[in-house]
Amino acid sequence: MIFNYQIIIEYLGVNFVGWQIQKNGASIQAEIERALSKALKSKIKLIGSGRTDAGVNAWGQSANFKVNNEIKNIFKILTTVNFYLNKHSISVIKLKKKNLNFHARHSAKKREYEYIIFNRKSKLAIDKDRVWLVKNNLDIKKMKKAIKFFKGTHDFSAFRASSCSSKTPIRTITKTNLKKIKGKIIINFVSKSFLQKQVRSMVGCLKLVGENKWRPEKIKYILKTKKRKLCAPPAPPEGLYLKQVLY
């Protein structure tokens, strides 16, 4: 008999080549597969909800795997898996049984990404490798005005990486939010799916608006042109988090 399980994972991406298994370095997927295979004494193949690039973090990455034997003691397996992951900045925070049709990627209805900018002059100590430090003063009002142009269905060709393999650049962003809390600017985007480096590219543009180098309306103009060369450089990966995947 086959059983299907979902796991929810949090991780810091700083020491990894990304979620997906690659030949050029350690990946989050490979480390979790190794830990699960040891804990369950069976070869495990993980299906992730989506790839996160090198250096990108997650609070709520979702994945599923199938196994021949039912997991009787969820807590024991969770504890064992996290023991094997102890030397890595990865934690499996939930393990739950799902029906056989559940697929971490294809069943997802929405994904939420959060980007954190720390806007201050001083260097980072506690938040190093966890946020983007921007020392120039940022105009929050202008950034809030600019982010609204991303909402809705658009051709995001200007905001995708040249290596992006998605068949279409059309995406629908259903929710945007930008707020400042004690020096941290927290930016959220919700969509069914995102293009490679789309969120980081959008944040890079918002930063230029906040520095008064661009007017908020330039976002609308770049969307219309569909030209990657007009887009700002992508924000660094360490400030980006896959917050949650909704099913």
Looking at the DSSP bridge assignments, the partners of residue 189 are 113, 176
Residue type, 153: T
Say which amino acid occupies 51.
R
Place of tokens 């690659």: 22
User: Minimal CA–CA distance to 241: which of 6, 8, 3, 11?
Assistant: 11
Q: Which of 53, 127, 129, 155 is catalytic?
A: 53
Whether 53 is a known active-site residue: answer yes
Alpha helices in 56-191 (DSSP H): 74-84, 140-147
Residue type for 183, please?
Answer: G
Q: Which helix (H) or strand (E) holds 155?
A: strand 152-155
Residues with catalytic roles: 53
